[in-house]
Amino acid sequence: MKKRSVKVTKEQLIDDFKVVIADAEALLKATANQGDAKLDAVRARAEGSLREMKAGIGEAQVALYDQTKEVAEATDMYVRENPWKAISIAAGVGLMVGLFNGRI
């Protein structure tokens, strides 16, 4: 069996968790008037888990935003301090991408 390498970004993971949370909330609302005591207990635990997950995702989004902002500021500072190096690096990367695309 072939192993696939899947690159998932933090943003994609956060978006996927949001979809799962929305679906779980919809399921909980749809089954709110059904069931017995056991189902009510499971529903209460699920709602608690969803609240915790939402809080965790919010924190992850803030951390991701802060980290992205720091990287952008560091890159901006480097380019301002070393414009010719930045131009050379960009030209080199562009050349490599062009060569790579030409071979495909």
- pLDDT band with cut points at 50, 70 and 90 for residue 58: confident
In a domain, 2, yes or no: no
- pLDDT band with cut points at 50, 70 and 90 for residue 52: confident
In a domain, 4, yes or no: no
Write out pLDDT tens, residues 67-82: 999 999 999 999 899 9
Q: What is the largest CA-CA distance in the chain?
A: 70
In a domain, 64, yes or no: yes
| pTM of the predicted model over 0.75 | no
In a domain, 33, yes or no: yes
Does the structure show a pLDDT above 60 at 4?
A: no
In a domain, 95, yes or no: yes
- Residue 93 corresponds to which tokens in the numbers above? 């990367």
Confidence (pLDDT) at 1 = 47
| Helical pair 37-81 and 10-30, crossing angle rounded to 10 deg | 160
Number of domains making up the chain: 1
- Residue 50 corresponds to which tokens in the numbers above? 């969803």
The domain in which residue 22 lies consists of 10-103
In a domain, 66, yes or no: yes
